[in-house]
Structure 1
Amino acid sequence: MDYDAYNDFCRALPATTHVVQWGGAHVWKVGGKVFAVGSRNKENMPAYSFKTSDLNFHILSDEPGYRPAPYLASRGMKWIQKDGLPNIVDNALKQCLIDSHRIVSLGLTKKKQKELGLNQNPNAD
């Protein structure tokens, strides 16, 4: 996945905002909280970091192409970095970005979630 595909995918998720910061990283937020970071790895290839559950952090840490996200994971946060290959559609990465968006949005206050139209149960009264 290249940066254009990554940015298009993240842009399509609900209530997201984009900023380029931290030395040119493509940072995506929901409710002002980071859920995905597109940067470059040591080989200058695209690399995408995202928040994950405790279980997925341990599983993905051992998978080829994945590793604990530099800086974030070293500070005890459950973030994984996935190396991206240009011109490859990466459905696993897309699912990880969706999951990260959900995890981060669930950490927002109920008031903020409601303001952004997130995590609302349409069947609830």
Structure 2
Amino acid sequence: MDFEAAKALCRTFPGATEDLKWETRAVYSVGEKMFAMSDYAVPAAGICFKVEDERFLELTDRPGIIPAPYLARAKWVHVEEAKALSDDEAAALLRRAYELIFAKLTRKLQRQIGEQA
């Protein structure tokens, strides 16, 4: 997984925004709700994102993927090693992270984001 390519992919999702938070973190959100986070610095040293509850244990059992600090209770993982995920699998997981958060938005906000796309 190329962390910089993953960050670029997050920017392409409809309604996605990128903000600098906590002085060092690039946070990717939709409807002001976070779905992924990485180092703001280039090159990034890792990436965190939301996963489905049933995938959390499966992913954190892999080498190079740990429960995300402070966000593990919300089923977020932190990919520490680039080789832990292929680019295709990482893209699918990031797309799913976006979809999980998008699904929790109000219908009105979902429509507004859909109209902008």
Shorter-chain TM-score category? 0.7 to 0.9
The residue aligned with 1:80 is 77
Shift of 1:65: 1.5
Q: Measure, in 2, the Cα distance between the counterparts of 1:57 and 1:39.
A: 21
Counterpart in the other structure of 1:7: 7
The amino acid across from 2:96 in the alignment is D
- Deviation beyond 4 Å, 4+ runs, structure 1: none
Partners of 2:87 and 2:11 in 1: CA distance = 16
Q: Whole-Å Cα distance in 2 between the matches of residues 46 and 91 of structure 1?
A: 19
Contact 2:3 2:47 in 1 (8 A): no
Tell me which protein shows more helix as a share of its residues. Answer: 2
Aligned residues: 111
Partner of residue 31, structure 1: 31
1:33 and 1:104 in contact (8 A); partners too: yes
Question: Deviation of residue 89 (structure 1)?
Answer: 6.2
TM (norm. structure 1) is 0.79
Deviation at 1:93, TM superposition (A): 1.5
2:114 alignment counterpart: 117
Change (3 A) 1:19 1:110: same
Task: Provide TM-score, normalisation by structure 2.
Answer: 0.83
Contact 2:36 2:97 in 1 (8 A): yes
Aligned to 1:90: 87
Contact preservation (8 Å) 1:82, 1:93: no
> 2:10 & 2:76 partners in 1: Cα distance?
17
Between Structure 1 and Structure 2, whose CA radius of gyration is higher?
A: 1
**Residue identity in the other structure for 2:13:** L
The letter of the residue matching 2:36 is: A
Q: Paired residue for 1:67?
A: 66
Rounded to whole Å, the distance in 1 between the matches of 2:9 and 2:86 is 11
What's the % identity of the aligned pairs? Answer: 32
**Counterpart amino acid of 1:39?**
D
Mapped to 2, the partners of 1:98 and 1:26 lie a distance apart of 17
Q: 2: distance between equivalents of 1:99 and 1:65?
A: 20
In structure 1, runs of 5+ residues without a counterpart are: 119-125
